Structure 1
Amino acid sequence: MDWTLEVVVVPVSDLDRAITFYREQAGFHLDHRTSNARMDFAQLTPTGSGCSILVGDAASSQGMAPGSLRGLQLVVSDAQSARQELLDRGVDAGEITVFDERDGGTFFSFPDPDGNTWTVQEMKVRADNPLIPPDARISYARDPS
């Protein structure tokens, strides 16, 4: 039996601000936003990822304070290009650090508006061998507004 990690709760203080940050600055896709009398939350997914994040009321119900999540990790095939893309979108991306010259040893980080932190790891092998092949990915042509 496969056990897949598909959603991580990210605690935020302002849902609209979080959606704007993750869509417009971090480049995630908005899968859906659900609002009713009991809850208001959104699910967003990075391009090429099999795991999404959940922001909104669901995070506070988990007993997590906004900004308390540390070291969520994203993987890219080119750290320099990924960092520049984030900088161009106004994200406060840290400097690139090479801990090991082998593939997988290059990192940088960035915070979201609440202070939750993300680590970005470069794995050049992902350029030719993505974790989820492009033809197996969900289409985001109808990204909800």
Structure 2
Amino acid sequence: MEWTLEVVAIPVTDVDRAKNFYVDRCGFTADLDMSPFEGARLVQITPPGSRCSIVLESGMPESPGQPRMTPGSLQGLQICVTDIEAARKELVDRGVVVGPVRHVGPSGWADGKGAEPWNSFAFFQDPDGNGWIVQEAPAPLADR
């Protein structure tokens, strides 16, 4: 049996503002914008090339045994790209405030790309403060 991560809920205060940020600024694709019942709304958005989407919602009941997250409380969502500088430039050109490319070492975080092919990162936040990490990761062997 395969277990695939398909959708991650992002806690936001304003679905329209968040949708605009992720679609217009980040370049994600809006796959679904619907109301399953009066007073509720679901917006599903997918990063380019990803099999996993994010969902923005309002008016939905809490899931059993899972309290609702506070907008801005989700940190560390990670998107992988094959060219960190190009990805960072695209986000900046679209109006996203993105930190510099950094790498991690024994003394903590330092500016610039890391020597290893997986050790280059850039960080940004959505309008509610949910934190994202963009990581440079080598293309899968099948794609090289």
TM range (shorter): 0.7 to 0.9
State the superposition RMSD in angstroms.
Answer: 2.0
Residue 127 to residue 12, structure 1, CA distance change in 2 (3 Å):
farther
Question: What is the Cα deviation at residue 124 of structure 1?
Answer: 3.1
Q: After superposition, where does 1:129-144 map in structure 2 within 5 Å?
A: 129=143
TM-score of the superposed pair, with normalisation by structure 2:
0.83
Q: CA deviation at 1:13?
A: 0.3
| Residues 109 and 120, structure 1, Cα contact 8 Å, conserved in 2 | yes
**Correspondences of 1:84-103 after superposition (within 5 Å):** 84-99=89-104, 100-103=114-117
* SS, match of residue 86 in structure 2: helix
Match of 2:124 among 107, 110, 115: 110
Map residues 46-61 of structure 1 onto 2, 5 A cutoff.
46-57=47-58, 61=62
Larger radius of gyration: 2
Q: Which runs of 5+ in 1 are unaligned?
A: 131-145
Give the C-alpha shift of residue 129 in structure 1: 2.4
- 1:109 deviates by 0.6
Moved >4 Å (runs of 4+) = none
Question: Does residue 70 of structure 2 align to residue 65 of structure 1?
Answer: yes
**Structure with the higher fraction of residues in helix conformation:** 1
Return the letter of the residue paired with 2:57. G
Distance 1:92 1:23 in 2: 15
Aligned residues between the structures:
130
Deviation at 1:98, TM superposition (A): 2.3
- The answer to whether structure 1 residue 44 and structure 2 residue 45 are counterparts is yes
